[in-house]
Amino acid sequence: MLCGMLAKTKTTTGEYQINSDLDQIFAFIRKYPDFRRVINDIPNTNHYLYGAEKDMVLTENNLGMYIQIIDQSNIKLYAMVKAMGGTLIARNVDCAIVH
């Protein structure tokens, strides 16, 4: 999980509310013209889940550290396959099938 968090280079931010008054919903949406609008009907009620969200690129990220972790993992997987001997048939993140 830590490795996946390091690879994160963008995120989504937003504000959401629940209401049944359409005038208040559209007044809320007009406050966020640059955001992506989200309006969902809540089943079996007269309420709506609505909001505004925006994608943001993270200017500071740990992508370099993520790449180093993946490289180190591949090196250890390679060493494990060589120690087992045989022919490599398939591999995944932390698994290798050898014949």
DSSP H helical ranges for 1-99? 2-6, 22-30, 63-84
Residues 73 and 42 in one domain: no
Residues 8 and 49 in one domain: yes
Q: How many domains would you assign to the chain?
A: 2
pLDDT in tens, 38-53: 999 999 999 999 999 9
Residues 33 and 74 in one domain: no
CA atoms of 90 and 4, how far apart (whole Å): 23
pLDDT in tens, 20-43: 998 999 899 889 888 999 999 999
Residues 53 and 80 in one domain: no
The range of the structural domain enclosing residue 22 comes to: 2-57
Residues 7 and 21 in one domain: yes
Residues 7 and 41 in one domain: yes
Residues 46 and 86 in one domain: no
How confident is the model at residue 1, as a pLDDT?
52
User: Quick check: 38 and 53 in contact, CB under 8 A?
Assistant: yes
Which has the closest alpha carbon to 81: 98, 63, 64, 68? 98
